[in-house]
Amino acid sequence: MIIASIAMEELALSHILNAEGEKLQYILGTLPGTEPCACPHEVLSINKSVTALLEAVTQNQMLLKNKLERALEACPHPCPPPCKPEPGPHPAPPPCKPEPGPHPCPPPCRPEPGPHPAPPPCRPEPGPHPAPPPCRPESGSHPCPPPCRPEPGPHPALPPCRPEPGPHPCPPPCRPEPGPHPALPPCKPEPGPHPCPPPCNPEACFKSALQLEGQRRDLLWKQGYCLPWRPLMRRGAELRWNEQNPGHIFLNPGKAYVVQYTLNISTAYPAEEAGTIILKQAPCGAFMEILPLYFKTECRENWPQTLHYAAMLYPCMGRSSEAELCLVLKSPNSLYVEQAIMNIIEL
């Protein structure tokens, strides 16, 4: 699961870089059907924002690389496949022969050439064989002394051990001093209010994320209307969605986010027309301005067309209230949205 999440983040970063490239092409007028629409000062400003984005992506790449290395270290290494012998007969290696010349050690013995008959089996000699006599110890002195034997007669019991009279080296036990002993006063807390520490909020340890999908399939999306959503996954407290206003997503304007969505659209009538999908924010200026998605419908009826978009939302200073986001269609004709997915991740 960790490696799959790293792959999803890499995919999101690729969409972000693609969107930045298209933004530069739009400003410079290299996209088909566009013309240069910015002065040199604006081009330098946009170039500066793209450079800041690339630095952020590079830092994120370093974090993902470190995470991937830790995940691969925790994974067990696969066992290598067993070696398989090559097919065919394998000749036996020739015997080793010592090199000619003087050897400090004598050369090993070599068997004489020719067949060597096996030695005959051992046969017992004919005749009776007497049993060997039992072993007897030799007479004379023995290095080991004989075992001790108790002396005959009654043996009186030993008297019990008694301590010797006189001073003992051990000190006597401690005795409390005579007299009343006052009880210790109870501990009293220091004066002043002591605030309790706030409880740990597990959601504050994670970045906020929200995943949405289209409210239903084959939804008719009209000009100037927001696309309605329904939630798939939500984490954290910085992103919010409610049923009363399904086309709007509520964000904290003091945070930075990555927004990525994918739409499968088709036209009701076969026509080739250009349109725009705007990621509208309210209040205006809560985040830095981002480019819309420009598309062109193909001249095929009920033929789905897939649109991808990714952008970075950078907060503007001086905003403290809650901000809203929504997708708005700017097109001469309405579209049918067969499927829609949106991901918003806090940076």
The pLDDT tens digits of the residues spanning 251-292 come to: 888 888 899 899 988 887 777 778 899 988 888 878 888 889
Domain for residue 62, yes or no?
Answer: yes
State the residue range of the domain holding 314: 207-346
Domain for residue 80, yes or no?
Answer: no
Query: Comparing C-alpha atoms, which of 239, 248, 253 is closest to residue 207?
Result: 239
Domain for residue 48, yes or no?
Answer: yes
pLDDT at 326: 92
Domain for residue 339, yes or no?
Answer: yes
Domain for residue 64, yes or no?
Answer: yes
Query: With the C-alpha atoms ordered 26, 7, 341, 337, is the resulting torsion angle positive or negative?
Result: positive
CA dihedral 40, 46, 48, 53 (to 10 degrees): -160
Residue 116 has pLDDT above 80, yes or no: no
Q: How far is CA 248 from the centre of its chain?
A: 33
Last residue within a domain, chosen from 72, 102, 126: 72
**Cα 230 to Cα 219: distance, rounded to the nearest angstrom:** 13
Residue 72 has pLDDT above 80, yes or no: yes
Average pLDDT of the residues in 114-119: 63
144-177: per-residue pLDDT in tens?
555 556 566 665 655 555 656 655 555 555 565 6
18-37: per-residue pLDDT in tens?
888 888 888 888 877 777 77
Give 229's strand partners. 214
pLDDT at 108: 57
Question: What pTM, to 2 d.p., does this model score?
Answer: 0.42
Q: Count structural domains, the chain.
A: 2
Phi and psi at residue 315, to the nearest 5°: -70, 150
Residue 323 has pLDDT above 80, yes or no: yes
Any idea how long the chain is?
347
Confidence grade of residue 343 (pLDDT, cut at 50, 70, 90): very high
**Cα 131 to Cα 59: distance, rounded to the nearest angstrom:** 94
Last residue within a domain, chosen from 51, 72, 93: 72
Query: With the C-alpha atoms ordered 238, 239, 245, 247, is the resulting torsion angle positive or negative?
Result: positive
pLDDT at 214: 86
pLDDT at 107: 56
Domain for residue 6, yes or no?
Answer: yes
Provide the residue type at 119 as one letter.
P
Residue 120 has pLDDT above 80, yes or no: no
Domain for residue 240, yes or no?
Answer: yes
Query: Comparing C-alpha atoms, which of 6, 43, 4, 5 is closest to residue 24?
Result: 43
Secondary structure (H, E, C), the chain: CHHHHHHHHHHHHHHHHHHHHHHHHHHHCCCCCCCCCCCHHHHHHHHHHHHHHHHHHHHHHHHHHHHHHHHHHHCCCCCCCCCCCCCCCCCCCCCCCCCCCCCCCCCCCCCCCCCCCCCCCCCCCCCCCCCCCCCCCCCCCCCCCCCCCCCCCCCCCCCCCCCCCCCCCCCCCCCCCCCCCCCCCCCCCCCCCCCCCCCCCHHHHCCCEEEEEECCCCEEECCCCECCEEEEEEECCCEECCCCCCCCEEECCCCCEEEEEEEEEEECCCCCCEEEEEEEEECCCCECCCCCEEEECCCCCCCCEEEEEEEEECECCCCCCCEEEEEEEECCCCEEEEEEEEEEEEC
Last residue within a domain, chosen from 23, 54, 72: 72
CATH code, domain with 294: 2.60.120.40
Domain for residue 140, yes or no?
Answer: no
Residue 301 has pLDDT above 60, yes or no: no
Average pLDDT of the residues in 286-310: 80
Q: Which residue has the higher pLDDT, 200 or 114?
A: 114
Start-to-end C-alpha separation, the chain: 20
**Cα 34 to Cα 296: distance, rounded to the nearest angstrom:** 13
